Chain A
């Protein structure tokens, strides 16, 4: 009797394990927090030094269109427009395809077909972006040149390459969203005499909407941050694009092109850090967007 009472009151191996485990996880969390904060701090100080030390106005950076840091001209609007251009265009083309493929995989395909598609999609994710860029350069750019004239480099070529790159991301997340729709929704709808199409369109897609939107935003985040493949097909001319097939530059491509050719601490270098800061802020915005969508769309 008293032995059990004793055990109740004393810490055991299990409770000590608990404490140790908690310590390890706090340590890990602390380490990651330090890492994130130092990255943010580093990029922020570098990215902001152009505004504080070189006397550049933030509005000039965001809204002027001339980019020539050597001559103190740091209007980033062309890159901002191009980055958003390729991202939105790629997401716009990719989303319907992704939803169609995901619907096929979850609602129509026999098990084996779905598994085969799954493998194909995973393969697409695994292909290195330089390969996408090469194919873009060898196939997409010449095709654009033949169809629209000019050099073929530009937003359209970038968007086509990015479309292939974000398709697997959006598809697999959409598949997850569709799979998460409880099967009793399907049954309830079918039992009311709804056709398969009505069930899919009015019930399943509606229930999965927050998940699908999240998938699209994730795809956009990936497209926005992609540097290498885009750089190979965009043309790399830091000027405001006047149409979809004129050479331009994205934030990321400008960054990778320029960072090796500038000297630390000079204005041209600082200007690139400011582009990096802008990218970081956009990444944050995409993240917050995903959270907001998830919260708003949660089924209550």
Chain B
């Protein structure tokens, strides 16, 4: 299949080499090699069933023990796609936000404190600091600072999603994976989540899977297009949307597909 992968010369956060993902006897991702620049937002777009979510979930070993993942995932010079690598440590460095907001049935504060305590942080001052910082980073602090002990389930969908982002940030990860983080939200909440992402770019590498091409073009620095489990194109977002190199990408973004 024809494809085009732009070279970036930027410092890389993570890269995959010939990655493939196989469910039983059904292969979903084929021979995908991609490089994700550090402190940038990279969007993965593609139709339903193109393997983009599956690809994303392999990056922090979420497929462990359920699905076969072959190939290399290189992070800090280590191929983390090996059984000998500590998957728990991988996930502390590479956080994830899911499609549906999934806060725990705990108070707002405890949603953030829980992962920290489980990782051995018990000093109350540090905990409070982290809670405030993370909520500020996720642009939720002003809305909830007065009732941190309220149940997280009482928040609106958009607030819940930003709480989940804050929760992922509380562990100070290096990379944040987002699997269609705004698809269950209304436009106003979506805008807030996108603003949060733009702010986070300064300190985090973000990889976001999205159906929504406008969203990809609004928030991301780089975009890659997946089709039927293969990388078709990777390029700076503006280039990809304005002057796509591959015919299939052009068809997809202009909407006359298939």
A269 CB to nearest B CB, Å: 50
How many A residues, CB 8 Å from partner?
A: 11
B146 contacts partner chain A, Cβ-Cβ < 8 Å = no
A7 touches B76 (CB 8 A): no
| Chain A residues with CB under 8 A of B90 | 8
| Chain B residues with CB under 8 A of A12 | 86, 88-89
Which chain A residue shows the least CB distance to B82?
A9
Which residues of A (1-46) have their CB < 8 Å from a CB of B? Answer: 1, 4-5, 7-12, 14-15
| Chain B residues with CB under 8 A of A4 | 76, 89, 93, 174
| Chain A residues with CB under 8 A of B80 | 8
Interface size grouping (class) on chain B? 10 to 19
Complex-state Cα separation, A5 to B90, whole angstroms: 10
Contact of A5 among B76, B84, B88 (CB under 8 A): B76
B78 touches A9 (CB 8 A): yes
B85 contacts partner chain A, Cβ-Cβ < 8 Å = yes
A7 touches B77 (CB 8 A): no
Beyond A4-B93, A8-B93, is A15–B78 a contact (Cβ under 8 Å)? no
A7 CB to nearest B CB, Å: 5
Beyond A5-B76, A8-B80, is A15–B93 a contact (Cβ under 8 Å)? no
B74 CB to nearest A CB, Å: 11
Contact of B84 among A1, A7, A9, A14 (CB under 8 A): A9
Which chain A residue shows the least CB distance to B77?
A5
| Chain B residues with CB under 8 A of A10 | 86
Which chain A residue shows the least CB distance to B174?
A4
B23 CB to nearest A CB, Å: 18
Complex-state Cα separation, A14 to B115, whole angstroms: 13
| Chain B residues with CB under 8 A of A1 | 76
| Chain B residues with CB under 8 A of A9 | 78, 84-86
| Chain A residues with CB under 8 A of B78 | 5, 8-9
Contact mask B56-94 → A, CB, 8 Å, 1/0? 000000000000000000011110100011101110010
Contact mask B130-141 → A, CB, 8 Å, 1/0? 000000000000
| Chain A residues with CB under 8 A of B174 | 4
Which residues of B (216-253) have their CB < 8 Å from a CB of A? Answer: none
A135 CB to nearest B CB, Å: 45
Which chain B residue shows the least CB distance to A5?
B76
Which chain A residue shows the least CB distance to B88?
A14
Which chain B residue shows the least CB distance to A15?
B86
| Chain A residues with CB under 8 A of B84 | 9
| Chain B residues with CB under 8 A of A7 | 86, 89
Which residues of B (12-40) have their CB < 8 Å from a CB of A? Answer: none
Complex-state Cα separation, A222 to B80, whole angstroms: 52
Complex-state Cα separation, A175 to B88, whole angstroms: 41
B86 touches A11 (CB 8 A): yes
A244 CB to nearest B CB, Å: 54
Of listed B78, B84, B88, B93, residue having the most chain A CB within 10 A: B88
4 nearest CB pairs, A to B: A14-B88, A7-B89, A5-B76, A8-B89
Q: Give me 27 A-to-B residue pairs in the complex whose CB atoms sit less than 8 angstroms apart, sorted by A's number.
A: A1-B76, A4-B76, A4-B89, A4-B93, A4-B174, A5-B76, A5-B77, A5-B78, A7-B86, A7-B89, A8-B76, A8-B78, A8-B80, A8-B85, A8-B86, A8-B89, A8-B93, A9-B78, A9-B84, A9-B85, A10-B86, A12-B88, A12-B89, A14-B86, A14-B88, A15-B86, A15-B88
What would 13 more interface pairs be, CB under 8 Å, given A8-B89, A9-B78? A1-B76, A4-B89, A4-B93, A5-B76, A7-B86, A8-B78, A8-B80, A9-B84, A9-B86, A12-B88, A12-B89, A14-B88, A15-B88
